[in-house]
Each structure stands twice: as structure tokens, then as C-alpha cells.
Chain A
């Protein structure tokens, strides 16, 4: 069999019967989560329907400007989301670094992937640019949130250590070396973990999608391997920029630890 079985709108709707069953069971068990399940299912459906039509429109237009506009929108959304999803208020300096690091890290990876790895006209074909950008930017967004959070938390909780190091003549870079390293670790860990389980525990989404649409698994894995390396690269690159510039925002020009940039410990 070649190609894909297109399911009708009614067939898709049958999938909701499944969710309805879940809602009924959850309700019977007295777990008050039925509203969340219904709302998130509906929200996902509406978002994807819109995304589907937007993509169809985008693919029809074949305009490089439109692609750039979509990329810009994705970056802005990713930056805002990366900052919002941190489980603590981030200092302004770190927010600025995120706003610089995320686009640089992701766009370089995307450009490399589209131009060097895939080649041909991929860089100006929305069918390639949009989904790949989504994967690269989405993963970097998660990574940079984890990295920034770990860095802020590290400097806050190891403040005495950082100050002691400064008092012993350490440069701010040397005084925060271990914190910066652990923030890099935190950022790339999810990507590294997912790579470890790939092909054994999980068949990744992109590969599954390609296989479902009739692509040979041998082609699909080539794309998947390349995109995973691209994701690892973009997460690493974004977080390296955060690491290189982020720690500086915690210090004054006189190599003093800024107290005002550290968020207050939340009351429990």
C-alpha cells in the first residue's frame, strides 16, 4: 500500500467518543478533572484546525516573505513562552539574553539544516521550513527555560559560595563556573534523554508522521536523525549564548553580585 488513508471528518469525530468515555469514567471515580479534559481537547482541536488551514494557505502562497513572517511570529511566541514558563520571575537581564539567544541559536540551526543538510529549495519551501522550525524552536524554548531557571536558582541558592569566591579574587566567570555548567546540563538533558530512548522506547513524531504518509522508514529515519542533531545543536547553541552572557547580568561593572536582580524567595 502506498500513500495515506484519508480519514473523513466523521471518522475523526469518532475519536472524541474515546475522550467522552474517559470523562465519564473520571467522573464516576470522583476525580474533578472532566472540565480540563474537555476544554483541552476542544482547544487542541480548534488550534490544529486553524493551523491546518494556515499551513494550506502558506503552502499555496509560496512567498519567502510570508515564511519569514511566520518564523518571526514563532520566535516571538517562543521567547514570550520561554520567559513565562519559568517557574520563577526572571531578572530583566536574563530575559533580554533569552530574547537574543533563542533566535540566534535556532535560526542558525534551521539555516544549516535547510541549506546544508536538506539542500535544494528547502529553505524557501514552507512545507520544509515551517515544521522543522517548529521542532527546532520548540525544543530550544524548553531548553532555554530550564537553563535560565537553573542559572537564576543556582546563583540565588549558592550566593554565599559566589561571594566567597569573589572575596578570594575570583572573576565573576570563575565564581559562577559550576552554576553555569549545571544550567547547560539542565537545558540539554531532555534532548539528550529523548535521543537515548529514540527508536527503542519511542518512535518520534516526525518520523511517525512521515511513515504514516507513506514515506519509507529508511527515508524517515534519515530526516529524524538529522533533525535530532539540529535540535541538539540549537538547544546547545542557545544555551551557550545564555551561559556566556547570562551570568554577567548578575554582576555590576565592579564585579559585585547584584542583589536587586535576584528574585525574592517565594513564601511557602
Chain B
């Protein structure tokens, strides 16, 4: 089976219960794909299928031309890192939390200079040695985004990354992250309910309604 190199994910006849049905979908490599739709429409389910947090009842999903079932799930998730909607802080400092993804994937930590640059990208003015559990919801979300940036994955799956950020700054933060991702050639797949944000940053805009893709626009 040949797949265009430019496709990061290729989904064929994918079905997950009654929640999602995707006859065919290609997510381009190195681009920013936004998935919009109402809550309960199957957006998060689609994301979770991409890094094998769940498995489809039917159909195939290729990652860079290889069926994801042939890639070790833990290995896949080290390349396709997902940020869940509610940010989770692990016990420890902001530094610990920024580095934990690297630790989980058995990679060496990065130095504090790099971490400071990451904090600038996510616009968090905090000391690295602060206790992460004391941060506000929006600050936690920034740390979680920073954690993902530190991992430098091939693909970033972002589930409503702006939901916990305050409306005044969410666009700016997400734009900076997307810019950083573009510079590094990272493929971004982002679920959001904010249509205006999606239209602003997306190279590809997918709209889902009741588990079906109703539009897929390359821009």
C-alpha cells in the first residue's frame, strides 16, 4: 500500500462505536490541522484514536504510512504526544513537570535555559522551582503545553488547549505555540470549539458533527 509522504495520518473506514465514523481522512505532515465541532461530536475521540489511547472497532489508521497497530503503542505516544483537555500536574515543581514527559519517554532532561525559553513561549512568568500544584488552571495549562514543547514530538495532539487559558491571552499563546511548531516542522492536530481561533491558525480545518466529518477545508 502506498501512501503520500505528505500525509502524517491516513484514516480509512474508521469506526468507533456510535461516536465516530470516518470513511477517509488525511492529516497533512508538518501542518496545523484544527478540528472543530460541538461538544460530544467526536473530536476528542478522533484525537485519542490517533495515539492509540483507544482502538477503533473497525478500519485502519496509518501513521507516516505504517499501520499504527504495527507500532508499539508506547513508542507511538512518544512520537505522537497528546495534551488532554484538563491539564494534570504531577507532584513536584514546575521544572519537574516540564521535564516529566522526557523522563517518561526515557530521554535526557534539557537544561534550565531551554526551560526558560519554553516558559516564554507559553507566556508563563514563574520560577522553575515553584510547586506546580499551587498554579491556577490557566497556569497549569501553560505548563502542560510547555511540557509538550520540551518533548519536541513529531506530532502534537492538542485537546482544547485554550479552554483553561483566559480569553484575553489564549489566542496569543496558541499562536506562539503554533509558530514554534511550524518552525520545527511539528505536525499539530488541535481540537477546539473556538471557531475564530481555528480559522486564524489552521492550514486544514475539519468540522465534525455527530461523529461525521461534514467539511474538510485545506487553506
Contacts and interface: CB of A to CB of B under 8 A. Distances in A.
A17 interface: no
A169 B88 contact: no
Contacts of A174: 104
B86 A160 contact: yes
Contacts of B86: 160
A254 B84 contact: no
B116 interface: no
Interface residues of A, number: 17
Interface string A159-193: 01101111111110011001000000000000000
Interface string A241-254: 00000000000001
Interface string A226-268: 0000000000000000000000000000111000000000000
Given A160-B86, A254-B52, A168 B105 contact: yes
B104 A165 contact: yes
Contact of A170 (B74, B91, B147, B157): B74
A160 B78 CA distance: 18
- Dominant SS at the B interface? mixed
A165 B103 CA distance: 10
A160 B88 CA distance: 7
A255 B105 CA distance: 14
B91 A167 contact: no
B147 A254 contact: no
B212 interface: no
B115 interface: no
Contacts of A171: 74, 104
Given A178-B91, A254-B52, A256-B53, A167 B74 contact: no
B74 A168 contact: no
B27 interface: no
A243 B201 CA distance: 46
A171 B103 CA distance: 11
Contacts of A170: 74, 104-105
Nearest to A167: B82
Nearest to B100: A168
A174 B83 CA distance: 18
Nearest to B88: A164
Given A160-B86, A160-B88, A169 B74 contact: yes
B101 interface: yes
B182 to A, nearest CB: 22
Contact of B78 (A163, A169, A175, A256): A169
Nearest to B105: A169
B23 interface: no
A164 B74 CA distance: 13
B104 A255 contact: no
B88 A161 contact: yes
Contacts of B52: 254-256
Nearest to B75: A169
A159 to B, nearest CB: 10
A136 B83 CA distance: 47
A169 B77 contact: yes
Interface in B149-164: 151, 157
Given A160-B86, A255-B74, A168 B151 contact: yes
A160 B105 contact: no
A178 B88 CA distance: 15
A123 B55 CA distance: 53
Contacts of A161: 88, 90
Contacts of B6: none
Given A170-B104, A174-B104, A160 B74 contact: no
Given A169-B78, A254-B73, A163 B104 contact: no
Given A165-B90, A168-B77, A256-B54, 5 more contacts: A160-B88, A166-B74, A168-B81, A169-B105, A170-B74
29 contacts: A161-B90, A163-B53, A164-B88, A166-B53, A166-B77, A167-B51, A167-B81, A167-B82, A167-B84, A168-B81, A168-B100, A168-B105, A168-B151, A169-B74, A169-B77, A169-B78, A169-B81, A169-B101, A169-B104, A169-B105, A169-B151, A170-B104, A170-B105, A254-B55, A255-B73, A255-B77, A256-B52, A256-B54, A256-B55
Sorted nearest first, the 5 A-B pairs with minimum C-beta distance are A169-B78, A170-B104, A169-B105, A164-B88, A167-B82
